[in-house]
Amino acid sequence: MAEQIEIRSADHSALDWIRQYSPFQELESTELEKVWPHLKRWRYRAGEEVVQEHVVSTSAYFVLNGRLALIKFDRVTDQFNAGGFFGEISLLDQKPRSGTIVAEIDSDVLEISKACLDELSRTDSVVALKLYRRLALYMTEYVRNSASLYQEMDVLLVQDGGCAPGYNPVTAFVTEYLEKQGRKVFIAATGFKSIVHNHDDDYRCLISDEHEFRHLEHIPGVIHSAPLREARGAAFRTERFPEFKEEALQQKAAVNLAERKVKAVIAIGGNGTFKGIRSLTRFLPEQVQTFFIPVTIDSDVLGSDCIGEYTGVEMGAEKIRCYMADAHTHHRCYVIEMMGADGGFHALHSCLGAGADLAVLPNSEYDHLAIARALNERDGGAVVVVAEGYKKQERKDQNYTGNAAEFFRDEIMKTGVAMKLRLVCESFSRDIRGAAPNNLDIMLSQRMARKVTLMLTAGMTQQMPAVLSGKEYNIPFSDITTSNSVESELASLSNKLL
């Protein structure tokens, strides 16, 4: 716990010393003497936190000695030594902190709080006004820098659609590779929705180089992209924006991007994101380059491996193995719904990876009577994996309210076979979306980021980077198919019941 240190009466050397901090530079010595009693001195031992990210705090701090670190994205992004100053924004806006400050070594700091400023306003309004004016100049500089930063954006990234492992790594690598080519990279804060709303705070500036980031991090929205390389989830996205199907909103977004002088747009996501960027492209000026990078657990873009599919299968197979162990122990049959809207890639490959008994896929027909009889012959339990898109239209036509696994279970029960195994349904495994991307997906992110950088630099447009069987190439928007399929031989390999 921080230790409060008694502050002695100010002498001239102390007053001259504190004047080095910007907020106090306009104050005369007599005015500084009035401020001095309102300050608090704290000693933080190595490892102790001064402020916590996302926690509301209304104090600013001046570093007297020692060294403190600013931590964002679980890594050190800046350091404060003697003479350093932090917390001035939270002092004024009283909003949650944007990062955590921790003492790297034993450190002493001076604290000035909002309550102290309020008290000073009552006792000496002239001095308080000078302090507020200096702090306001700080804030004004932030606002001006922010406004100018987003008036002209070079390359804009858009993450949209459902979450999947790999959104963040490919964003980090695209930023790194383009930055090395001298390009400036920005990203929409919440997908296509941000482009339609089009306020300055709808965008973020991504910076890969750590030194450049430290130079600009005081500007709102500037983010160090390097820590995203192994981050889970999608840091800049929306839970889909169906309204973007309207041409009026697509046209509005195109106008907004033209006004901000965007030179290239790179959309990152699945089939819905591709439809969004292709529709937007129709209304963009011809000189604006557009690209699409496929990130989807279910690999629903034909002709390429998709970022996220490797982690998805790895995690999906592990979940199935857990159910297999429990099924064997309790002599039951688990019917598990997994991702697989059209082709059923994720459900099939997860089933094969784990060695489950059957993968039930969309657009496939099954002999439910034979399956029921085969399950009854199983001695130690069974696991059936059902893709979420199984008989989707039929379920909709019947107003069926259950999931795909429950529908398949009901089909088994309707055969009239008295089941010896208890059929237990498990719903869609959404937690897989938040899995940490594995090495294969991180490597695929690197390859696609490099490929899109090369295409952009070469002046190409309306292209998707693709990797298949280890080979890199590109697919024009006009040739992209967003309804993937699975090989029939693989599908038959997953049926161990018949």
The C-alpha atoms of residue 158 and residue 193 are separated, in whole angstroms, by 10
Which amino acid is residue 374, in one-letter code? A
What pLDDT was estimated at residue 29?
Answer: 79
pLDDT at 341: 81
Q: What is the mean pLDDT of each run of 10 residues along the chain (498 residues)?
A: 78 67 78 82 93 87 90 72 82 80 93 85 83 77 69 93 88 96 94 93 91 76 88 77 92 96 95 93 96 91 91 94 93 93 88 94 90 90 94 93 94 93 86 90 97 97 94 94 72 85
Whole-structure pTM value: 0.74
Task: For 67, list phi and psi in degrees, rounded to 5.
Answer: -155, 130
H-type helices in 181-302, by residue range?
A: 191-197, 210-216, 247-259, 271-281
Q: How many other β-carbons are positioned within 10 Å of the β-carbon of residue 180?
A: 11
pLDDT given at position 97:
83
**Quick one: pLDDT at residue 145?**
62
Topology match between the domains 155-307+437-479 and 311-434: yes
**Structure-token pair, residue 461:** 């447009």
User: Can you tell me the distance from the alpha carbon of 181 to that of 99, in angstroms, rounded to the nearest whole number?
Assistant: 30
pLDDT of residue 34: 81
pLDDT for the residue numbered 30 = 82
CA 74 to chain CA centroid, nearest Å: 14
What is the per-residue pLDDT for 316? Answer: 94
pLDDT value, residue 146: 64
CATH architecture designation of domain 311-434? 3-Layer(aba) Sandwich (3.40)
Region at 381 (left for phi over 0; alpha for psi -120 to 50; beta for the rest)? left
Cα angle 135-188-302, degrees, rounded to a multiple of 5 = 160
Which parts of 75-195 are beta strand (E)? 75-81, 85-86, 100-103, 107-113, 155-159, 185-188
**Torsion sign across C-alpha atoms 257, 262, 268, 272:** positive
Tokens of 133: 């004016």
**What is the second-level CATH architecture of the domain 3-147?**
Sandwich (2.60)
Q: Domain segments of the chain: what residues?
A: 3-147, 155-307+437-479, 311-434
- Cα–Cα distances in Å, from 337 out to 2, 158, 172, 348, 409? 51, 30, 32, 11, 11
469: left (phi over 0), alpha (psi -120 to 50) or beta: left
CATH number of 155-307+437-479: 3.40.50.450
pLDDT digits (tens, 9 = 90+) for 430-454: 788 888 999 999 999 999 999 999 9
